[in-house]
Amino acid sequence: MSKNKYSVLSFSGGMDSTSLLLNLLSKNHTVHAISFKYGQKHGVEVKLAQNNVSYLKNNGFKDKIIHKIFDISNILSNFNSSLIDVNQEVPEGFYESESMKSTFVPNRNAIFFSLIYGYALSISKNYDENVFISLGAHSGDHAIYPDCRLEFFESLFKSLKLGNWDSEKIKLNIPFINFDKKDILKDAEKSINKLHLDFDTIFKNTITSYSPNENGISSGKTGSDIERILAFHSINKIDPIKYQDSWKNVLENALKVEQEYVNV
């Protein structure tokens, strides 16, 4: 039996997919990492994804990562979402609040998944090996994004298998589905230690904000920012990225927002 392992990873450049990339590398996968440009306001995430790929390739993983960027912005640019529409503001506040639903992009993950499935099917034929479709979806996504739920991915995976020949070698891998962001960071720490990499360098090259400024710097106030800040705080680390305000102030705001949500 072959010991080769292959994954196609949906690689946004955020902390979840970056953590999954590290997880896969720690398990000796060759990773085809697919990043998408879809007209998102936080398009800097793709550049940061490239930065991390360069860092990893320069630190022993040159032959283990193949990074592709799919530009589908002409398809999704007219979709109704505050992540794309310049006339809509990305909401601030707690990441599970009702207002965050404006950040949902209709059918985004179905589109991404379909493209990744086709890519995975193609390389499985080239390698004549099993290929894992690897996704960083996690429990914190479920309340706001119906296309991040396990039943959605399993249903779509089943449909795509039915609609293609030679799908036997395609496997679904969503290891963080029951994790929150704290769990994901802890998993990333383990992978980083195993791979002898630098935690701050890796996460400095990620972004979670849906509404960074023109310099790609996060406000610390959007729902995704709040979730990230609280996760770093929960593992007693200072987030290495630069915010528009000091770490002390963005953390105080995140804790306040969390408490206000809990008390509602």
Q: Kind of pairing, strands 131-134 and 29-37?
A: unpaired
**Considering the domain boundaries, does residue 214 fall inside one?**
no
Looking at the predicted structure, is the pLDDT value of residue 2 above 60? Answer: no
Looking at the predicted structure, is the pLDDT value of residue 231 above 70? Answer: yes
- In the prediction, which pLDDT does 180 show? 94
Task: For helices 181-195 and 15-26, give the axis angle rounded to 10 degrees.
Answer: 40
- Which of the four pLDDT bands, split at 50, 70 and 90, describes residue 23? very high
The rounded mean pLDDT for the chain is 95
Number of domains the chain contains: 1
Residues 6+ apart with CB under 8 A from 168: none
Average pLDDT of 179-192?
98
Each residue of 49-79: b (16+ CB within 10 Å) or e?
A: bebbbebbeeeebeeebebeeeeeeeebeeb
- Which of the four pLDDT bands, split at 50, 70 and 90, describes residue 1? very low
Cα gap 47→52, rounded to integer Å: 9
- The pLDDT tens digits of the residues spanning 196-220 come to 999 999 999 999 998 899 999 999 9
In which domain, by residue range, is 180 found? 5-197
Q: Hey, how many other C-beta atoms are within 10 angstroms of the C-beta on 167?
A: 17
Q: How many Cα atoms occupy the beta-carbon half-sphere of 151 within 13 Å?
A: 3
**Considering the domain boundaries, does residue 148 fall inside one?**
yes
How many percent of the chain have pLDDT more than 90?
86
Cα gap 26→258, rounded to integer Å: 33
**Considering the domain boundaries, does residue 110 fall inside one?**
yes
Domain containing 132 — which CATH number? Answer: 3.40.50.620
Average pLDDT of 188-202?
99
**Considering the domain boundaries, does residue 34 fall inside one?**
yes
**Considering the domain boundaries, does residue 238 fall inside one?**
no
Looking at the predicted structure, is the pLDDT value of residue 238 above 90? Answer: yes
**Considering the domain boundaries, does residue 262 fall inside one?**
no
Query: Which of 67-71, 141-145, 216-220, 231-235 has the weakest average pLDDT?
Result: 141-145
Average pLDDT of 65-85?
95
**Considering the domain boundaries, does residue 149 fall inside one?**
yes
Cα gap 105→108, rounded to integer Å: 5
**Considering the domain boundaries, does residue 255 fall inside one?**
no
Total count of residues recorded for the chain: 264
Cα gap 92→72, rounded to integer Å: 27
- In the prediction, which pLDDT does 142 show? 66
Alpha helix positions (H), 205-246: 223-234
- In the prediction, which pLDDT does 139 show? 85
Q: Which residues pair with 65 in a beta bridge?
A: 31
